[in-house]
Amino acid sequence: MPYDPAVPLSPGFVEQVPAFLAGDDTPRDLLERCIAVIETRESDVQAFVTLNLEGARAAADAAGARYKARAPRSLVDGLPIGLKDIIETADMPTQCGSPIYEGNETGRDAPLTAALRRGGAVIVGKTASTEFAYGNVMATCNPFDPNRTPGTSSSGSAAAVGAGMLPVAIGTQLMSSVMRPASYCGQVGVKPTYGAIRQAGIHPFSPSGEHVGAHTAKLADAWAVLRFLSNEAGPVPGSHGIAGPETLPPAEKPARLMRMYTPGWDIADGSVRAAFEAGLDRLSNAGVEIIEPAGVPELQALEDDFARADWCIAEIAAFEMRWPFFEYEAAGHTHHPRIAKALARAHEITLADYHTALDFKAAFGARVRAASETIDGVVGLTAPEVAPVGLENIGNPVTCSPATCAGAPSLTLPLLAADDMPLGLQLIGFHGEDARLFGQAAWVEEVFG
């Protein structure tokens, strides 16, 4: 199914709620439409590692009864959703893409799973993740070209939404694991401010760097589900959560956006560059001032920091991954080379090295915050390439790592294309200003109309 940016993904969820309330549609019918797509596409795409259609149908029927009584529990009542398979679910195994956890039943829900259930969401299945969201890839392929990667590590979540199987799936990101696959799979992807959503019950790799994020067909759903989770599952303990209205904040035109390069720009090919430049022209023509970092010392300093984000994230991860990966290693588990490389550093790194990386991160985060006096946000490519050919070629995180390292909210919109494949436009906002970023994204979507 080749990519056509003019054909929108399956309808969003929030936009269908009025029909549930009016009695013109039901969550069960919505679920059955999702299941029909799953039945058509899943054998090729392989987005799921576990499906629980029986449980989903029961949950959808219960949601339907609530809508009939005009008493839905929340904005996600009846939402068909998939969860990355490193997130614990009481009714499905949590296998983390690893033979270590084959068939692993923890018997409990992670906070975000429990919150979704309390809110009435319909948990359809567990989506494929690379091993521990870092290692070897699964069989999942890109829904727009089976010879290409869907991106990692939230491969299954991105593929399920990109294939139109689900309106929403949850992913996690340490470097680029929500944003990059969302770009490759032609959808909205959001990584909120660090700490917006609690990570307990999610297999840890580097908890101080990991973010829960969303893959969605529509921007409004991303806001609704992330805001819901931040309030109901709660933030990472000690962090502030997402404040703002229940539904998508109103469109807000950013006056000045900094153009992000990072080392990613150097490796972007001509068609990708052209698509991005054309996108910038649209924003510029709509009255947004695009600021070149080279002309503003504090922004150039930011651009210089962007290039160190990968190092900083990897260094912090090497220290934090010692648990539980030292235990897996002691038990004789053979890791994928990506994990093995990180683990080699984990054996060398000291607390002082960790402090050095944390201190860089804190200074970088402060620099990003300070930039809010000069600019309203940052615009860049979500990935320096469209989805590469070959499932093991997972692409490059370098354009996503800066926002992740800073802990600033970022999102990708499926507004660009190159080589007949989707390409995301990335917007980065400021810490705690997730609502403002979504308002800007809503405005950008209107501009691209």
Ranges of H-type helices in 206-350: 219-232, 262-267, 270-285, 297-306, 309-320, 322-330, 337-348
Q: Is 55 among the residues that bind a second copy (CB under 8 A)?
A: no
Which one of 6, 297, 352, 392 is in contact with a second copy (CB under 8 A)?
352
Tokens of 303: 């651009």
Q: Which residues of 399-424 are buried (b: 16+ CB within 10 A; e: fewer)?
A: bbbbbbbbbbbbbbbbbbbbeebbbb
Any residues with CB less than 8 A from the CB of 113 and at least 6 apart, and which? 83, 87, 88, 89, 90, 123, 201
The region of 22-30, 93-101, 184-192, 324-332 touching a second copy under the rule CB under 8 A is 324-332
Q: Restricting to residues 118-137, name those near a second copy by CB under 8 A.
A: 118
The region of 19-27, 214-222, 236-244, 305-313 touching a second copy under the rule CB under 8 A is 236-244
- CB-wise, 232 or 305, nearer to a second copy? 232
The region of 107-115, 120-128, 130-138, 277-285 touching a second copy under the rule CB under 8 A is 107-115
Q: Quick one: DSSP state of residue 328?
A: H
Tokens of 8: 């929108």
CB of 214 to a second copy, least distance (A): 18
Length of the chain, in residues: 449
Which one of 53, 62, 200, 280 is in contact with a second copy (CB under 8 A)?
200
Q: Is 103 among the residues that bind a second copy (CB under 8 A)?
A: no
CA 424 to chain centre: 12
Q: Is 343 among the residues that bind a second copy (CB under 8 A)?
A: no
Q: 373: burial class by Cβ within 10 Å (0-12, 13-18, 19+)?
A: exposed
Q: Is 347 among the residues that bind a second copy (CB under 8 A)?
A: no
Which one of 84, 126, 198, 335 is in contact with a second copy (CB under 8 A)?
198
Q: What gap in Å lies between CA 46 and CA 63, rounded to an integer? A: 27
Which one of 12, 72, 111, 254 is in contact with a second copy (CB under 8 A)?
111
The region of 1-9, 183-191, 298-306, 321-329 touching a second copy under the rule CB under 8 A is 321-329
Q: Is 107 among the residues that bind a second copy (CB under 8 A)?
A: no
The region of 297-305, 322-330, 335-343, 418-426 touching a second copy under the rule CB under 8 A is 322-330
CA 373 to chain centre: 27
- CB-wise, 107 or 270, nearer to a second copy? 107
Q: Is 58 among the residues that bind a second copy (CB under 8 A)?
A: no
Number of residues that bind a second copy (CB under 8 A): 37
Q: Is 241 among the residues that bind a second copy (CB under 8 A)?
A: yes
**Residue 64: phi, psi to the nearest 5?**
-60, -40
Which one of 355, 363, 366, 390 is in contact with a second copy (CB under 8 A)?
355
Tokens of 248: 């998508």
Q: 43: burial class by Cβ within 10 Å (0-12, 13-18, 19+)?
A: exposed
Q: 100: burial class by Cβ within 10 Å (0-12, 13-18, 19+)?
A: middle
The region of 150-158, 168-176, 204-212, 416-424 touching a second copy under the rule CB under 8 A is 204-212
Q: Is 365 among the residues that bind a second copy (CB under 8 A)?
A: no
Residues within the interface to a second copy (CB under 8 A)? 108-109, 111, 114-115, 118, 198, 200-201, 204, 206-209, 230-231, 233-235, 237-238, 240-241, 243, 319-320, 322-324, 326-327, 350-352, 354-355, 358
